[in-house]
Structure 1
Amino acid sequence: MKKPAIFLSLLLMFSSCENLLEENPKAVAIENFYNTAEELETAVNAIYVPLRSVRAEQICILDAHTDWGYGRGSRAQYNDFAGLNTTNINTAGGRWRSFYLGIRNANLVIAHAPAATSISPEDLAQNIAEAKFLRAWAYFDLVRNWGGVPLRTEENLEETDVERSSAEAVYELILADLAEAEAGLPDEPKHVGRPSKVVAKTLLADVYLTLGRYEEARDKADEVIQSGKFALVPVSSFEDFQQDIFGPEIVTSTEEVFYMKFSREQGQGNYILWILNHPSTGLYNYGGAYAHYSDASNPFFIEWDDNDIRKQLWDQIDFGISPTTLVSKKYVDQKAVSNDGSGNDLPIYRYAEVLLLFAEAESRVSGGPTPAAVEALNKVHRRAYGYDPESASPVDFNIADYNAETFIELVLQERAYEFQFEGKRWLDLKRTGKAAEMISKYKGLSIAEAHYLWPIPIDELNFNNAMDPATDQNPGY
């Protein structure tokens, strides 16, 4: 029970602070916060609460949009790639509100922290940098899934009516925030689960890759690699993946770059286990809703090498849809205390992703695979087969077998296998322009224009008078 002892008091503080900020943010800012390092840290903690609460749902919805993923019940509608129906429009609106609540809490810190009277310049800079990192991360989710959005910052904190900005303007803010975060965050995180300079560099690498700024993406990823702070966790079985990389008892690991932290306490645990697990497996003591799944008859799964240990993180279970239905067993906890009380942390960035970000960006900059790019990819691939990530293996890819195009395809496929139920694949398919090709290949479906972006919520359009429902809504809604 190491994790609850370390995190529970901090998580409870998150929740209580979030309630205060939500009910009366101005009074709290003036009277109670922003004077000492402890008070400012408490205000920063409140930024995490809505971003933690939305993460499991966001991951599952994104992975239902993929070439390998499916949703059950009301979530099955994600699989037709025709846009969202009324039910799923409403749930998308809930995720939008969570992101903006985190952004609002970040804006409060950024706006009011400089007036603190009893705090060192170093503590002040670090807390503002953390708030800007979290604001950038929230906007990165928003812009990739909704396109251009209203830019709410510390400068328009009191304004209700904020026009929709372009996606380009949103990315400008993200990059500005991350530049300040990289400069102001500490070399080592203050607590496990908080960002440091290398975390800001990792998010920057991802943003640059998304924008097609490949040299900058490569350089930031390489800075993380060269820091020597991380290493892949070795495995020899799927149980090692379950317990040593994603397990409920882990406080941190050599692979953790930035994770959302959870503990076995009701209301403070990870909800994704209940969403994914099936009661028949016994891998999760609260049964599970098995709301998201895959299928062994999908060519994606058929083409996947059976010797890849990651493929074993699926159980074939017939729960009424098909005898070939697959249910994930990536996240397991047999000692959870409630449906939302599992101890597994949720990875946002793992070292495996840093390596694959570098491999892709390095190859794109160089016009084809280089030894450094191939070695970065091979480290992740070796580990997937139980080999030492740092030593040559029988499953290594050979640089001579690939050109610029086929090597990028290889990296994207490795990402597809490595990051299932981490919310990466759909965003990869969109940013590389491969979504239509892969959804057609593996699911035999066409993607409607409306499915590429989620709709701007109706309440945003109704109550934000700077937005016009006729022109500011996304296509197809």
Structure 2
Amino acid sequence: MKHTILNHILLGFCVLAMVSCEGLLEENPKSVAVENFYNTPEDVESAVNAIYTPLRSIRAEQIVILDAHSDWGYGRGSRAQYNDFAGLNTSNANAAGARWDSFYKAIRNANLVIANAPNGDAISQEEVDFYVAEARFLRALTYFDLVRNWGGVPLRTEENMQQGDLPRSTVDEVYALIVEDLRFAEQYLDESPRQVGRPTVYAAKTLLADVYLNLGDYEMALQKSGEVIRSGNFSLVPVTSVKDIQTNIFGADLLTSTEEIFYFKYSRDTDQGNFILWILNHPDTGHFNFGGAYAHYGDAANPFYTEWDDADLRKGLWDQVDFGLGTTTLVSSKYVEPAAVSRNDGGNDLPVYRYAEVLLIFAEAEARVSGGPTSAAIDALNQVHRRAYGLDSGMESEVDLKFSSGESARFLEAVLQERGYEFQFEGKRWLDLKRTGKAQEMIMKNKGLAIAEAHYLWPIPISEINFNGAINPETDQNPGY
């Protein structure tokens, strides 16, 4: 069922996007093609679809690289260098540059929609506002990835997209644009998705909550996460087994779920699928019909894993496989796909935001604003915690975590750890450790390594330095490169 419906959606995202990127969406607003293309809702929607293409193509790679940086994740072969915490070598710096290029392709395509959609002569103002809001949501999401991994970056917008030479903006300036975009998106997106996979007002509120959390504006993070919770539109998917997690939360046949807030969608079709299955799986486990490259893995001897309660179902999303690195090597079974059409084309969607994250953002923000854990904060944390044990998330249980009102530090540590268990291979942990100032402490505790200054931010790509005359390689490069 998923693939019949989703194929039509992805055909719009991919085929129309390809046409747009190659011909109709050239950065030349005076051309006849641009003047004629943005006139109808269908025209503008196809232009919006072009924003998704580079983001979908790079998402799986971004996730696994970020999780190799974490206190529990490892990379194999050339990817092993990601988890030595010494900064990126030339090969991996070039790979980071390729991700940068994909992000800026998405930003370019968003800018084209934002600039040109208001000029259409056969589209209502309501439709213009909606599609511009979707473009601004995706632009904000993309700059959020950029600013957390590269720091201040050139701010390319609809107003300067013809300008080649742009200096790095400050981190604060990048965040200001992100917040501005999301406030617009929050105002004009729909409450329910027009098509599965498109953002809603609640996706905008959730992204805003995460942005405010990163900015240390906990009152606004609390407000926005609370609005999503109080909407009553979302709930945790019940599970009672590891298979339930694999099938009912991350399964290849899922179209959507009560937990989905915003995901990148994939389908079992050539060039429309998800290749994270190939990156993570191992042939011995039988979880992926094309085997797998097992390029990223875990270690059962790592304290992150040994201190994890065996009764937690999420711990069962790891299989112990000795593929030459030792008997304690772990291979992820979070994403299972028995019927992919190629090694790069699994049907599993990739979460960007799930309801579990809204609850944990709320728990952290509520505790920080209140100066300690409140009953509401503790309950939000325990909803996620109970579900992980296969219990009813809304009912008090014997596994509930308990805190007194003065145990602020212990509560925040528990939220951080719960996020670590919940979001493995969703690309959250390294960014959480940096945001909370816990990176060095946890990397030393669980891996015994010091983090070089160069490892905290990726290098500004050489291609950007070569072609952007406003970037000075001596003064504008990130530390250590």
TM-score (norm 1): 0.98
Q: Does 1:98 align with 2:102?
A: yes
- 2:18 aligns with 19
Cα distance, 1:29 vs. partner? Answer: 5.1
Q: 1:465-476 maps to which residues of 2 (within 5 A)?
A: 465-476=469-480
Alignment partner, residue 460 of structure 2: 456
Contact 1:358 1:373 (C-alpha < 8 Å) held by counterparts: yes
Distance (Å, rounded) in 2 between the aligned partners of 1:9 and 1:254: 22
- The one-letter amino acid paired with 1:186 is D
Aligned with residue 257 of structure 2, among 248, 253, 258: 253
Q: How far off is 1:399 after superposition?
A: 2.6
Of 413, 416, 430 in structure 2, the residue corresponding to residue 426 of structure 1 is 430
Q: How much does 1:30 deviate?
A: 1.7
- Which runs of 5 or more structure 2 residues have no equivalent in the other structure? none
Q: Deviations over 1:365-395 (max 9, x none)?
A: 0000000000000000000001100101100
The alpha-carbon deviation at position 341 of structure 1 amounts to 1.3
Count of residue correspondences: 476
Provide, for residues 417-470 of structure 1, a one-character-per-residue CA deviation record: whole Å limited to 9, x for no partner. 000000000000000000000000000000000000000000100010011011
RMSD, matched Cα: 1.1
From 114, 119, 122, the equivalent of 2:123 is 119
Amino acid at match of 1:456: I
For the residue of structure 2 that corresponds to 1:155, the secondary structure is coil
Instruction: For residue 103 of structure 2, give the secondary structure of its aligned residue in structure 1.
Output: helix
1:192 to 188, 192, 196: 196
- Whether contact under 8 Å (1:283, 1:334) holds in the other structure is yes
1:71 and 2:75 matched: yes
Q: Secondary structure at the match of 2:263?
A: strand
- Any idea what SS the aligned residue of 1:56 has? helix
1:6: how far off? 1.1
Which secondary structure state, in structure 1, belongs to the residue aligned with residue 153 of structure 2?
coil
Alignment of 1:280-429 (within 5 A): 280-400=284-404, 403-429=407-433
Is 2:218 aligned against 1:214? yes
CA distance in 2, matches of 1:132, 1:351: 22
Whether contact under 8 Å (2:280, 2:331) holds in the other structure is yes
Given that 2:71 and 2:304 are in contact with CA atoms closer than 8 Å, whether structure 1 keeps it comes out as: yes
Retained in 2: the 8 A contact 1:264–1:336?
Answer: yes
Q: Which amino acid aligns with 2:211?
A: V
Are the equivalent residues in 1 in contact too, given 2:386–2:393 (CA < 8 A)? Answer: yes
SS at match of 2:262: strand
Corresponding position: 1:169 with 2:190:
no
Residue 85 of structure 1: how far off its partner (Å):
0.4
Deviation at 1:21, TM superposition (A): 3.4
Range moving further from structure 2, 204-213 or 29-38: 29-38
Secondary structure, aligned partner of 2:331: strand
Task: Kindly provide the amino acid, as one letter, of the partner of residue 344 in structure 2.
Answer: D
How far does residue 32 in structure 1 lie from its aligned partner after superposition? 4.6
Native 8 Å contact 1:56 1:270 kept in 2: yes
Instruction: Give the distance between the partners of 2:225 and 2:309, measured in 1 at CA.
Output: 28
Q: Give the TM-score normalised by structure 2.
A: 0.98
CA distance in 2, matches of 1:10, 1:301: 39
CA distance in 2, matches of 1:457, 1:30: 30
CA distance in 2, matches of 1:348, 1:129: 18
Once the 2 structures are TM-superposed, how far is the Cα of residue 7 of structure 1 from its aligned partner?
1.9
Distance of aligned partners of 1:216 and 1:333 in 2 relative to their CA distance in 1, 3 Å threshold: same
Residue of structure 2 in register with 1:41 after alignment: 45
Residues 461 and 467, structure 1, Cα contact 8 Å, conserved in 2: yes
How far does residue 401 in structure 1 lie from its aligned partner after superposition? 8.1
Q: Which amino acid aligns with 1:5?
A: T
The CA distance in 1 between the partners of 2:455 and 2:94, in whole Å, is 15
Matched, 1:235 2:234: no
CA apart distance, 1:400: 2.2
Deviations 1:284-316 (A, max 9, x none): 001100000000000110000000000000000
Q: Is the 8 A contact 1:208 1:217 kept in 2?
A: yes
Partner of 1:140: 144
Residues 298, 443 of structure 1: 8 Å contact kept: yes
Deviation string, structure 1 residues 334-364 (Cα, Å, up to 9, x no partner): 0011112111000000000000000000000
Separation in 1, partners of 2:32, 2:199? 25
CA distance in 2, matches of 1:408, 1:29: 53
Alignment check: 8 A CA contact 1:32 1:39 kept: no
Q: 2:55 corresponds to which residue? A: 51
- What per-residue deviation string (whole Å, max 9, x for no partner) do you get for residues 45-91 of structure 1? 11000011110000000000000000000000011100000110010
Residues 201-243 of structure 1, C-alpha deviations (whole Å, 9 max, x = no match): 0000000000000000001000000000000001110000000
Opposite residue 300 of structure 2, the aligned amino acid is: A
Amino-acid identity (%): 66
The one-letter amino acid paired with 1:47 is: I
The alignment status of 1:157 with 2:189, answered yes or no, reads no
Aligned-partner Cα distance in 1 for 2:48–2:241: 39
Matched-pair contact (CA < 8 Å) for 1:29–1:108: no
The CA distance in 2 between the partners of 1:141 and 1:112, in whole Å, is 25
Verify the 8 A CA contact 2:20 2:46 in the aligned structure 1.
no
Q: How far apart are the structure 1 equivalents of 2:406 and 2:267?
A: 44
The one-letter amino acid paired with 2:287 is L
In structure 1, distance between residues paired with 2:445 and 2:245: 29
SS at match of 1:293: strand
Q: Is the 8 A contact 1:285 1:333 kept in 2?
A: yes
Measured after TM superposition, the shift of residue 3 of structure 1 is 2.0
2:117 maps to amino acid: A
Q: Contact 1:47 / 1:103 at 8 angstroms: preserved in 2?
A: yes
8 A Cα contact 2:319 2:331, kept in partner: yes
- Runs of 4+ with >2 A deviation: 12-24, 26-29, 399-402
Contact 1:29 1:112 in 2 (8 A): no
Q: Equivalent residue of 2:216, what SS? A: coil
Name which of structure 1's ranges 198-207 and 115-124 shifts more when overlaid on structure 2. Answer: 115-124
AA aligned opposite 1:166: T
Look up the equivalent residue of 1:81 and give its one-letter code.
F
CA offset at residue 28 of structure 1?
Answer: 7.7
